[in-house]
Structure 1
Amino acid sequence: MSPDRRRAVGAMVMMAGAAGAAHVGRPTVKLADRLGGIDLERAFPARFADWQIDPTIPVLLPAADVQAKLDAIYNQVLSRSYVSARGERVMLSVAYGGDQSDGMSIHLPEVCYPAQGFELRDKQAGELQLAGRRLPIHRLTTALGARIEQVTYWITIGEAVAPSRSRQKLIQIGYGLRGLIPDGMLVRISSIDRDASQAFQMQARFAQDLAAAIPDALAPRVLGRRGN
């Protein structure tokens, strides 16, 4: 057996053992109750740096069937359009669920966009430096007819960033072993632009400005803990 295969098998065994232990002591305490509730309207400011809400741009809502699925997963969804002093426009969507136990997993944009008729043209992993953190993120290029939408997003489970489904599961198991049911958050930033490089640079700047404006007490739940 190759070294890579041994490591993969070892990781699977650890996850299976941890999952079994978690099942024996099924968590009952919600992390959200211990840390306190989140009000997305207050956590994400309407104005920061040179950005402010743009009331002239309507926010596109998902199809009714997709919205029903989102309502079953999330307690709160925040959708806004922002404009900078230079006239740059970006859309922010934040979805928060207080229960990220089995069967209540966050709905990934690469699933949500195609469900609304978008073509997923590209997906890449990346990193952003936000508020003293090295944050793993995903970037998507999507298309709906002539509309090209570039997307940056990240996910937190509890106070940890979860760049993959396997990492989400490990974080969930870790909280479960402590008797806790973690909450979860999806932060999605997008803009209409055929130039992916230009769009992602602008989105990175928006994310940096936004991260600096998030209240310190809430930053770990939006951005993960430093060094996590």
Structure 2
Amino acid sequence: MISRRDTIAGLACLAASGAAFALKPRNRLNLLGGAQLETLVPRSFAEWSEHGTGGLVIPSDNSLAARLYSQTVGRVFTREDGAEVMLLIAYGDTQSDTLQLHRPEICYPFFGFTITRNEAVPIPLANGVVLPGRTLTASTYDRNEQVLYWTRLGEYLPQDGREQLKARLRTQIHGFVADGILVRVSTLGDDAAAALALNREFVAGLMKVVPRQLLPALVGSEDATRLAV
């Protein structure tokens, strides 16, 4: 004979499994669509021109980080005064428990860098749009790299790992598996303040010239609409 206790336990398990089924994402939120980053990201704009990929910290083709992304674009830009900025855009079409964006403060140490500074900063763009970004200094024995980046997960722009987890869970609760993107710019040097100013200037200029169809993938739908005005 089944006891009352067993019945209650069984109902609890059934309710839990039903809740898990109800919360399982069944739709995809993909803001890039079928576009290809390689063809949409400009190779030159304003005073900046592409100059190869030398010195760019980027996952190798057979690394775990590389397998997390379905598309990556890495370029080094220079201008006539000698300034140089490195750009990496990494896109993943599925953000889940096992596949998710690797933030620079996590991945740089795997390349032998030590993170000596890591701060939340705003990234001002046109039309009053301000992205929640992070800036950090990644150092090795012969190199200080000043990094500025932001991430998008679904329609959220998480500024740290905790916000990234919350964004993924919120998106899943609403029934979606979201895509995500990391946009990272960096420059070499010891002056963090000057590098931040240069990196912000580069980002603002780049965002003015990227095709409108790419804006949602970079900053989310709401900010993309404001930038496209």
TM over 0.5: yes
Distance 2:68 2:59 in 1: 16
Distance 1:44 1:23 in 2: 39
Give, in angstroms, the shift of residue 168 of structure 1. 2.0
Distance 1:59 1:39 in 2: 24
Q: Residue 40 of structure 1 corresponds to which residue in structure 2?
A: 37
On the 8 A contact 2:32/2:216 being kept in 1, the answer is no
Q: How does 1:123-134 map to 2 (within 5 A)?
A: 123-132=118-127, 133-134=129-130
Kindly report structure 1 stretches of 4+ aligned residues shifted beyond 4 Å: 20-23, 61-64
Query: Is 2:105 the partner of 1:110?
Result: yes
On the 8 A contact 1:160/1:220 being kept in 2, the answer is no
Q: Residue 85 of structure 1 corresponds to which residue in structure 2?
A: 80
Distance 2:204 2:86 in 1: 15
On the 8 A contact 2:56/2:86 being kept in 1, the answer is no
Q: Residue 26 of structure 2 corresponds to which residue in structure 1?
A: 28
Give, in angstroms, the shift of residue 61 of structure 1. 5.2
1:137 aligned residue (127, 133, 136) = 133
Aligned residues: 205
Amino acid at match of 2:213: A
1:141–1:22 distance in 2 versus 1, CA, 3 Å: farther
* Structure possessing the higher radius of gyration over alpha carbons: 2
**TM-score of the two chains, using structure 2 as the length reference:** 0.81
Of 171-180 and 95-104, more deviation after overlay is shown by: 171-180
Q: Residue 5 of structure 1 corresponds to which residue in structure 2?
A: none
Distance 1:30 1:157 in 2: 12
Q: Residue 9 of structure 2 corresponds to which residue in structure 1?
A: none
State the superposition RMSD in angstroms.
2.3
Distance 1:207 1:22 in 2: 41
Q: Residue 76 of structure 1 corresponds to which residue in structure 2?
A: 71
Distance 2:176 2:209 in 1: 29
Structure 2 unaligned residues grouped into runs of 5+: 1-17
Give, in angstroms, the shift of residue 63 of structure 1. 6.7
Could you report, residue by residue, the CA deviation over 1:165-221 in whole angstroms, capped at 9, with x for unpaired residues? 232233223332332210000011011111111111111100100111122222122
Give, in angstroms, the shift of residue 28 of structure 1. 2.7
1:47–1:60 distance in 2 versus 1, CA, 3 Å: closer
Structure 1 unaligned residues grouped into runs of 5+: 1-19
1:40–1:212 distance in 2 versus 1, CA, 3 Å: same
Q: Residue 194 of structure 1 corresponds to which residue in structure 2?
A: 190
Q: Residue 176 of structure 1 corresponds to which residue in structure 2?
A: 172
